[in-house]
Amino acid sequence: MARSWTRLHEFLGSPPGPVTYEMIAEAVRRKLGESDDLDWKQALPATSPVKGEWNEFAKDVAAMANTRGGLLVYGVSDAIDMVGIDLSTVDDKQLGQWLRVHLQPTVSGVSYLELPATDGSGMDVLVVDIPASETAPHFLYGWQQKDKDKTTFNAPFRHRDDTAYMAEHQVAAAYRERFSRQDAAEAALERHVRYATDLVLGESEFRPTAWLVVAARPARPIPRMVPPLTREEARWAIEQGATRARKLLDAASQVARLVGPPLFPNLLNNDPRKGLRRWVDTNLLIPARATRQRGVLLELHHDGTVVTAVDLSHNALPAGHAAVELPVTSWNLISAAFETVALAHEYRTALHADSSMDLQAVLQTHDTDARFTPVVLDYGRPDVAEWARQPFIMQPAHGELAPFADDGTLIAEARELAEGLLHQFGIDMPA
């Protein structure tokens, strides 16, 4: 099935949906360059009647399937000019047979979209939509004259606007990911949460503090060979996440009146710095810039994972209020859930990923003898919810973010994530 979110959609600012001829024509007019998930092709694939002969079409499909999927668009020249092809000569059955003959294992789920010209030019195009493969790596078998008829068995992949071949360690990593995908996904999500928890608890080891840690990870992570976002692109994703969060909170009017403005834009300067295969934005870990603000950590991992952590005990109660071991501000918890869901959605969009995302939210503290004590608004004033449960241990809350979520779906997922924690106190979310 053809994907609904591609490089073309992102470049043109189009909502998720089918690729159209008008989108191709506009992208060509604006000279959208090739990338790891978009390849312009002037002519249709040449026939390959000899079994074992090198097949360029199969190589191009395998390269995208081994990376993160993408589009082959036939009828556009290397100079990114519309030249068109003859759709009457397209034989998708023959193309599919080439994949079965020349690739091991074959790539499934490839879609062939014939797009007749709608502008009277007669320059029709063919779009081949290749999904990121669950059975990668795919190897291409054949011989090449340029290699003196040497028979090859290689696993191609896309690197920016070029095709390369996997080294041994990349092949090994691709096999490990295939055979342990689900177990690895669950373990990776928990590992992200555990690492962020250890990191932020180290910042509050001398006082009991409740931290909310949320991780959102694509069910099909971005492979390591895909170039990460630049710093400016990461900043743009963070900015878009903040804008989306405000929109979601405003749409959930009762929630908006409770939580106030989003946390992340007020506590961070949108100044992400390099980390270990991630971008990190935080007001922690820099002694020269020590702050008395609420602690916040934000990580954008190159594989599409988003991790956030927020100190929910900071200034939880007004001065002079009776001491509470481990206060948890409920409205900041709700805001952080909405902001993380919004950021995960925008980051996934920036990476052109069409995968669902698994979410996990936890409340953690290093003081296991302290009770998590919810703080709510009583006539607009922070106060301890005496009637609420005060557990020593909180269970993780889980959720799943659909691939192409509208605002209503994002709000529902953010609510579900926040409720998964608040309900453990016996507290309801506002309607």
Domain CATH code at residue 105: 3.30.950
Q: Do both 87 and 104 map to the same domain?
A: yes
Of 130-134, 221-225, 254-258, 322-326, minimum mean pLDDT range: 254-258
| pLDDT tens-place string over residues 296-305 | 999 999 999 9
Q: Is 397 exposed, middle or buried (0-12, 13-18, 19+ CB in 10 A)?
A: buried
Confidence of residue 182 (pLDDT cuts 50, 70, 90): low
Written as one letter, the residue type at 346 is: E
CA distance 359 to 201: 21
Q: Do both 109 and 89 map to the same domain?
A: yes
Backbone angles phi, psi at 229, to 5 degrees: -65, 150
Written as one letter, the residue type at 392 is: F
| 2 in a structural domain | no
CA distance 300 to 289: 22
pLDDT at 420: 96
pLDDT at 289: 66
Domain boundary among 178, 208, 235: 178
Q: Is the pLDDT of residue 236 over 90?
A: yes
Q: Do both 163 and 226 map to the same domain?
A: no
Q: Is the pLDDT of residue 341 over 80?
A: yes
CA distance 297 to 263: 11
Across the chain, mean pLDDT equals 88
pTM: 0.70
pLDDT at 309: 97
| pLDDT tens-place string over residues 305-314 | 999 999 999 9
Q: Do both 271 and 400 map to the same domain?
A: yes
- Residue 156: asked if its preceding bond is cis (omega within 30°), the reply is no
Residue position matching structure tokens 């000899």: 50
pLDDT at 117: 95
| Packing angle of the helix pair 168-179, 181-201 (nearest 10 deg) | 100
pLDDT at 100: 84
Which residue, among 215, 216, 201, 212, has the nearest Cα to 394 in the 3D structure? 212
Instruction: Tell me what the mean pLDDT of segment 16-42 comes to.
Output: 94
Instruction: Tell me what the mean pLDDT of segment 315-321 comes to.
Output: 80
Instruction: Tell me what the mean pLDDT of segment 364-386 comes to.
Output: 85
Q: Is the pLDDT of residue 52 over 60?
A: no
Q: Is the pLDDT of residue 53 over 80?
A: no
Q: Into how many domains does the chain fold?
A: 2
Instruction: Tell me what the mean pLDDT of segment 84-94 comes to.
Output: 92
Q: Do both 237 and 257 map to the same domain?
A: yes
Higher pLDDT, 141 or 67: 67
Q: Is the pLDDT of residue 348 over 80?
A: yes
Q: Do both 112 and 240 map to the same domain?
A: no
Q: Is 206 exposed, middle or buried (0-12, 13-18, 19+ CB in 10 A)?
A: exposed
| 230 in a structural domain | yes
pLDDT at 102: 86
Q: Is the pLDDT of residue 106 over 80?
A: yes
Q: Do both 392 and 261 map to the same domain?
A: yes
Confidence of residue 212 (pLDDT cuts 50, 70, 90): very high
Q: Is the pLDDT of residue 44 over 60?
A: yes
Helix (H, G, I), strand (E, B) or coil at 83: coil
Q: Do both 144 and 225 map to the same domain?
A: no
| 327 in a structural domain | yes
Q: Is the pLDDT of residue 50 over 90?
A: no
Q: Do both 105 and 193 map to the same domain?
A: no
Q: Is the pLDDT of residue 416 over 60?
A: yes
**Pairing state between β 69-74 and 38-41:** parallel
| 148 in a structural domain | yes
Domain boundary among 150, 178, 206: 178
Confidence of residue 290 (pLDDT cuts 50, 70, 90): low
| 399 in a structural domain | yes
In order, the DSSP letters of 117-182 are -SSSS--BEEEEEEEPPTT---EEEEEEGGGTSEEEEE-EEEETTEEEE--HHHHHHHHHHHHTHH
Q: Is the pLDDT of residue 5 over 60?
A: yes
pLDDT at 146: 55
Higher pLDDT, 219 or 363: 363
Q: Do both 85 and 206 map to the same domain?
A: no
| 430 in a structural domain | no
pLDDT at 129: 94
Domain boundary among 137, 161, 178: 178
CA distance 179 to 194: 24
| 431 in a structural domain | no
Q: Is the pLDDT of residue 204 over 60?
A: yes
Q: Is the pLDDT of residue 317 over 90?
A: no
Q: Is the pLDDT of residue 344 over 90?
A: yes
CB-CB contact of 139 with 103 (8 Å): yes
Q: Do both 58 and 199 map to the same domain?
A: no
| 194 in a structural domain | yes
Quick count: other Cβ atoms within 10 Å of Cβ 404?
17
pLDDT at 251: 87
Instruction: Tell me what the mean pLDDT of segment 95-122 comes to.
Output: 90
Confidence of residue 17 (pLDDT cuts 50, 70, 90): confident
pLDDT at 402: 82
What domain range is 155 assigned to? 7-178
Q: Which residues contact 251 (CB under 8 A, 6 or more apart)?
A: 407, 411
Confidence of residue 202 (pLDDT cuts 50, 70, 90): confident
Instruction: Tell me what the mean pLDDT of segment 339-352 comes to.
Output: 93
Q: Do both 91 and 110 map to the same domain?
A: yes
Q: Is the pLDDT of residue 121 over 60?
A: yes
Share of the chain above pLDDT 90, in %: 55
Instruction: Tell me what the mean pLDDT of segment 326-331 comes to.
Output: 92
